[in-house]
Amino acid sequence: MECRAGAIWDDGYLAYDFGDHPLNPIRLDFTMRLARSLGVLDRLELRPAHAADEQQLLTVHDADYLAAVRRASDDPTFSGYGLGTTDDPVFAGMYDASALVAGGSAAAATMLWRGEFEHAVNIAGGLHHAMRGYASGFCVFNDVVLAITTLLAAGAKRVAYVDIDVHHGDGVQAAFYRDPRVLTISLHQDPRTLFPGTGMASEIGEGAAEGTAVNVALPPGTNDRGWLRAFHAVVPGLLRAFRPDVLVTQCGCDTHHEDPLANLELSIDGQRAAIAALHQLAHETAGGRWLAFGGGGYGLVRCVPRTWTHLLAEATGVQVAPSTPIPAEWTKHLRDIGYQGRLPESMGETVLRPYEPWQPGGEGWLDGAIAATRRAVYPLHSLDPDDPRD
């Protein structure tokens, strides 16, 4: 099945650069080079990004925070509003670089809603930790919230957001915690063991939005099969019940077993299966409208380029087989710029074995976490938490 896909790309994305920091924008360049070498970019339309203007950003952030980011862009000694910290150090041009990423995600939302594409991807987006009034977790402006707000303003009645980053999608959840039009689902490493410390099953939304915040807190060490079991036990049932106009996904790949910042154990192949499942669910539950963002991912060479190339390929409807060799020109580029570490050899890593579907009454941390999430929100969607078919 070929799909009409667009991606937003701008070399200006590489200016979102905290310096000596785990989030290195070179991962985006490595991804685009790999996708180009494999012919993936030939099958989708690339569009440039334009910086989000102040009026757009004010729909997501407070005016005094925007002023602070502007000041920080010119003043390397600035601190406050979460800026000038180890996680979010200030850098010259921070405002413009952040506004460009946000503008890219907003543009992807607009193009998608107009029907220019069935699927739109912004791999620089997915900055899900930024809050209304402060920076957090490497995120300055919350491009995801801007994209969803853009969809709602354009006429979308219901938007579902699925966040598969290893960290809780706290900024997006917070923005829509009392808004029943937006279903946020985040699968992440248990927050008692990882930043940002929120995202337990008990966080379900408030008021009329009860049940529209969903959290699956996965035990450290969760592998492909466990992760996919949890995903399929929670996400398809909720999306089928919610029937969104658009499926928005944050596809952070810091769930990888080599990721330096977290402790899940997914392979490239598990991440690819997750992305394929999201694509299928967009067609099944959201009229095919799928807006996909990047997110975390600190395996700059061995993880991000492969997984997000799979994301771009998935959006075109033409997958790249895991056995596909890494193109020699990509490898040569990495060596030419002086990279001396171990390079990937093919687009996959492992043979993905089928997962055991979740059943009620299972023992252990993972099945307990799945059951806790289902019990917390399934009844609010008229679904049976104990019926594995729901």
Cβ-defined contacts of 153-158 (< 8 Å, 24+): 153/59, 154/109, 154/110, 154/113, 155/113, 156/113, 156/181, 156/245, 156/246, 157/181, 157/245, 158/182, 158/183, 158/242, 158/243, 158/244, 158/245
Tell me how far, at minimum, the Cβ of 298 lies from Zn ion, in Å.
Answer: 8
Is 203 a binder of Zn ion (CB under 5 A)? no
Beta bridge partners of 238: none
Is-contact 291 6, C-beta < 8 A? Answer: no
List 171, 199, 244, 296, residue binding Zn ion (CB under 5 A): 296
3-state secondary structure of 328: helix
Instruction: Tell me the number of residues near Zn ion by CB under 5 A.
Output: 7
Backbone phi, psi, residue 159, to 5°: -125, 130
Among residues 257 and 374, whose Cβ is nearest to Zn ion? 257
Applying the rule CB under 5 A, the residues between 251 and 270 that interact with Zn ion are 252, 254
Only one of the segments 26-34, 67-75, 199-207, 247-255 lies at the binding site for Zn ion (rule: CB under 5 A); that segment is 247-255
Only one of the segments 35-43, 147-155, 199-207, 290-298 lies at the binding site for Zn ion (rule: CB under 5 A); that segment is 290-298
Non-local (6+) Cβ contacts of 117 within 8 A are 4, 5, 6, 45, 111
Applying the rule CB under 5 A, the residues between 148 and 177 that interact with Zn ion are 165, 167
Among residues 260 and 357, whose Cβ is nearest to Zn ion? 260
Only one of the segments 42-50, 199-207, 250-258, 382-390 lies at the binding site for Zn ion (rule: CB under 5 A); that segment is 250-258
Catalytic residue among 129, 167, 188, 310: 129
Among residues 237 and 299, whose Cβ is nearest to Zn ion? 299
Task: Render 12-25 in DSSP notation, one character per residue.
Answer: GGGG---SSSS--T
- 129 assigned to active site: yes
Interacting residues with Zn ion (CB under 5 A): 3, 165, 167, 252, 254, 296, 317
Catalytic residues: 129
